[in-house]
A = this chain, B = another copy of it.
């Protein structure tokens, strides 16, 4: 069989009929859209009626030109649909060219299939293959489906962050009190009571927010909406730092739970933490969805474990008539001051992180979303209050104080359950819920960044959806920053906690203040009552924010307090850049006064930047830098000369003699193209050429100068080292020059092309070809 029939070939791109659908194109360059985001909001109003009108006007400008009309009439020398099947001619070297992997159904549209999405190079395909083994096959954009959650699942999924906080919150609080000595330990109960009151207030306050923003009541949205962009950005910066710290603290706490049970692993704490972050990243890049029964398990397991711990513990305490056991004598290192109490309160307040989860995730609830959300929030806060209160009481009753190497929860477990299976279950459940809590940040962080990118406040690369429909870039950034934190603080939970609470409570405050503004502006039913509830929330959280910022300032809160304004500044700069770009790129009429083709007189020299927008306005000049006359440079010269536009060549010589020598060779060739030589006595090549081209540009700013560079492309990467990088350096140096187009004419140095002298072979330039044929067929 000489030709392989088309049916046997794998279809790489196939045609599809047009659909009726209409959707906004993504705003980011070539970027895929987030499946669950609304139509693109952009300052350039892509797709708006104004823009269509402008397109039509520009189109009319084009249509007036005979160049364009001739271009339209020109027949293309290829079949764009790739529909004409022509089997490859087997060469005498027995290779087949991998053409025609396509099928046509409707005009002007092709559909790329999976193999067409693979890179061309062997290395690239190898990387993709490894990625697919780890992360699974790519999912088409149409595979998006969002599972909706009921209360039971939502409580587990969204509650994990909040509920897992009891693994470190009470401990952080008591760890501060201990500094005041045994006497101060008694203050844990009143402080815990204050925290419980705060929790309940916040819970009630957020219930109202959920009712008012049933489509998603994240702090960024609520604050932006009611207090202005700047406040929204501050809230966003607070939340972003919160999410990063959620990962770092949860992972560090999880590792603590593990090393409390298995002290042998303690020296490898940081490494285990990093491995956990990597695993979380991998799982989330695969596109692990928020919902699902497996995700409910850890939360409920932890719930059961904690409740059992509290019940059994209280029962044991009941047998001794709730007589608190004396804690081991601790030496006071600080006086028991209000400052110490406030610090303990601030540390305990980290237990409240994750309370905002429900409000962020409202769109993921089953309808009626806000009602299910409120129910979930109520349950969540109630359970939290019970667990937090119970644990603090039990810690007090059992006289437990934080100690190095074992968490308070682990100590409680040992005290209550002994060391058996129940203890192991408690530690395992703690570890799992902490991982799950870290995992929630993998949903929230990229989503918030994508919201911000949609509003042009974050780089648009955070809009990009990966192979598995995950917001890959945000996840990678989150993992990187969290890993750095784990490494910097060597996974010590207590050093991370001071950084933690500021961001969250700042976001809480802005969100609640925003709600107050909301009610004040809208004056809907019950607005007075609502203002009081949200106002109380705002006042309390503001007080906590200030308390945390002040008491933890030297302990690490300064990092967050410094990072937030820097982040906000960055967001604003990014926004202003995108705004500038959108304005610069946006369609508008171009000056038509430049279509006169004459050398402008002295006082007429004009500069219009990169403004030529119609073919008839283009005045071409082609420049070919030539170092030697060989096949590659001759090919570049032939390319330049083959257009009906003025062209000339430049040669840079290190000395006059060299220049003269080159001119003689040029003359021998026939002087087909005008040659200009530049002697560069200091042997520089790129700068003189750049200056020369700039001078030409300044002579005739209306010209579009095309620099045609030939580039040798060796077959192997290391061979690149054997050739000068002049073309690359030149391209970089020429990039900033206006109205300068750079064309590179590659010349392939591939050994698999033995037939340069006219033999008929297929697959020239095809080092990458044989292996792909082997794979693609």
Interface centre among A80, A112, A678 (most CB of B within 10 A): A112
CB distance from A188 to the nearest CB of B (A): 48
CB of A30 within 8 A of CB of B685, answer yes
User: Cβ of A28: which chain B residues have Cβ within 8 Å of it?
Assistant: 724
Contact A615 B628 (CB under 8 A): no
A648 touches B76 (CB 8 A): yes
Report whether A67 and B642 are in contact in the complex, using a CB–CB cutoff of 8 Å. Answer: yes
Contacts of A686 in B (CB 8 A): 119
Let me know if B682 and A585 touch, CB within 8 A: no
Within the assembled complex, what's the spacing in Å between the Cα atoms of A586 and B757?
A: 12
Nearest B residue to A654 via CB reads: B32
Q: Whole-angstrom distance between the alpha carbons of A648 and B72 in the complex?
A: 10
Q: List 18 A-B contacts (CB under 8 A).
A: A18-B659, A30-B726, A82-B695, A82-B699, A97-B698, A108-B676, A110-B676, A117-B680, A120-B694, A120-B733, A460-B722, A584-B749, A585-B631, A587-B630, A607-B762, A607-B764, A639-B704, A742-B743
A275 within 8 A of B: no
Q: Report how far A275 CA is from B612 CA in the complex, Å.
A: 55
Give the residues in chain B near A25, CB-CB below 8 Å: 628, 653, 658, 661-662
Q: Is A98 interfacial (CB 8 A cutoff)?
A: yes
Residues of B within 8 A of A52 (CB): 665, 668
Chain A positions 220-237 with a Cβ under 8 Å from a chain B Cβ = none
Known A-B contacts A698-B99, A748-B609; the reply to A679 vs B16 at CB < 8 A is: yes
Q: Are B741 and A688 in contact (CB under 8 A)?
A: no
With A21-B656, A141-B654 known as contacts, the answer to whether A672 contacts B607 (CB < 8 A) is no
Contact mask for chain A residues 680-702; partner B; CB cutoff 8 A; 1 contact, 0 none: 11111111101110111011110
CB distance from A130 to the nearest CB of B (A): 16
- Say whether A480 faces chain B, with CB atoms less than 8 Å apart: no
Kindly state whether residue A645 has any CB partner on chain B within 8 Å: yes
In the assembled complex, the Cα of A602 lies from the Cα of B100 at a distance in Å of 13
Q: Is A317 an interface residue (CB 8 A)?
A: no
Contact between A675 and B108, CB atoms less than 8 A apart? yes
Shortest distance from the beta carbon of A755 to any chain B beta carbon, whole Å: 7
B-side contacts of A138, CB under 8 Å:
682, 684
Partner of A746, one of B682, B723, B735: B735
> Is A29 engaged at the interface, CB distance under 8 Å to the other chain?
yes
State whether the Cβ of A610 lies closer than 8 Å to any Cβ in chain B: yes
Cα–Cα, bound, A704→B631 (Å): 16
Q: What's the nearest-Cβ distance from chain B to residue A604, in Å?
A: 8
Interface size class of A (residues with CB under 8 A): 35 or more
> Known contacts being A677-B109, A681-B142, is A585 close to B660, with CB within 8 Å?
no
- State whether A100 touches B698 (Cβ < 8 A): yes
Q: Which of A52-84 contact B (CB under 8 A)?
A: 52, 55-56, 58-60, 62-63, 67-68, 70-72, 74-82, 84
Report the stretch among A160-168, A203-211, A489-497, A765-773 that lies at the interface.
Answer: A765-773
Q: How far is the CB of A385 from chain B (nearest CB, A)?
A: 45
B688→A116 contact, CB < 8 A: yes
Q: Please state if A71 and B621 are interface contacts (CB–CB under 8 Å).
A: no
Among the 9-residue stretches A253-261, A354-362, A423-431, A712-720, the one with 4 or more Cβ atoms under 8 Å from chain B is A712-720
A404 at the interface (CB under 8 A from B): no
Which A residues from 642 to 660 make CB contacts under 8 A with B?
642-648, 652-660
* Stretch from A289-297, A411-419, A516-524, A573-581 at the B interface: A573-581
Q: A99-B698, A109-B678, A621-B77 are in contact. Are A29 and B609 (CB under 8 A)?
A: no
- Using A76-B648, A100-B695 as known contacts, list a sample of 20 further A-B pairs with CB atoms less than 8 Å apart, ordered by residue number in A: A13-B691, A16-B679, A19-B656, A23-B658, A72-B673, A74-B646, A84-B699, A108-B676, A110-B692, A119-B733, A121-B733, A138-B682, A142-B655, A577-B722, A607-B761, A608-B758, A612-B635, A618-B639, A620-B642, A739-B765
Which chain B residues border A760 with CB–CB below 8 Å? 606-608
Judge if A118 is at the interface, Cβ distance under 8 Å.
Answer: yes
Cβ–Cβ < 8 Å partners of A719 in chain B: 577
Cβ-neighbour of A677 out of B108, B655, B735 (below 8 A)? B108
Given the interface pairs A610-B747, A631-B586, the reply to whether A30 lies near B120 with Cβ below 8 Å is no
Smallest CB–CB gap between A630 and chain B, Å? 4
Residues of B within 8 A of A661 (CB): 22-25, 47
Residue of B591, B681, B741 near A757 (CB, 8 A) is B591
State the 9 A-B residue pairs at the shortest beta-carbon distance, nearest first. A59-B670, A738-B765, A99-B698, A591-B758, A609-B764, A21-B657, A117-B684, A140-B681, A32-B683
**Whole-angstrom CA separation of A126 from B738 in the bound complex:** 22
Q: Is the CB of B676 within 8 A of A80?
A: yes
Give the one of A615, A690, A721, A742 with max B CB within 10 A: A615
Which B residues are CB-close (under 8 A) to A713?
735-736
Docked complex Cα distance between A610 and B745 (Å): 9
Decide: A645 and B648 in contact? CB cutoff 8 A.
no
Q: A102 in the interface, Cβ–Cβ < 8 Å? A: yes
In the bound assembly, the distance between CA atoms of A642 and B615 in angstroms comes to 5
Known interface pairs A55-B629, A681-B141; A726-B655 also in contact (CB < 8 Å): no
Known A13-B678, A110-B676, A631-B586: A643·B641 in contact at CB below 8 Å:
no
Q: Does A461 lie within 8 Å of B112, measured CB to CB? A: no
B628, B663, B679, B741: the one contacting A111 at CB < 8 Å is: B679
A91 to B663: give the CA distance in the assembly, Å.
Answer: 40
* Chain B residues with CB under 8 A of A608: 755-756, 758, 760, 764
Residues of B within 8 A of A142 (CB): 655, 681
Determine if A634 is an interface residue (Cβ-Cβ < 8 Å): yes
**A481 is an interface residue with CB less than 8 A from chain B:** no
- What is the distance, in angstroms, from A427's C-beta to the closest C-beta of chain B? 42
Q: Which residues of B contact A603 (CB under 8 A)?
A: 89
Contacts of A67 in B (CB 8 A): 641-642, 644
A632 at the interface (CB under 8 A from B): yes
Closest chain-B Cβ to A686's Cβ sits at a distance in Å of: 7
Q: How far is the CA of A647 from the CA of B618 in the complex (A)?
A: 16
CA distance A603 to B738 in the complex (A): 47
Contact of A699 with B660 in the complex, beta carbons under 8 Å: no
Q: Which residues of B have CB within 8 Å of A141? A: 654-655, 681-683
Q: Which residue of B lies closest to A633 (CB)?
A: B585
In the complex, what distance in Å separates the CA atom of A638 from the CA atom of B67? Answer: 10
A740 part of interface (Cβ distance < 8 Å): yes
Take A646-B77, A670-B63, A698-B88 as given contacts and tell me if A110 and B677 are in contact as well, using a CB distance cutoff of 8 Å: yes
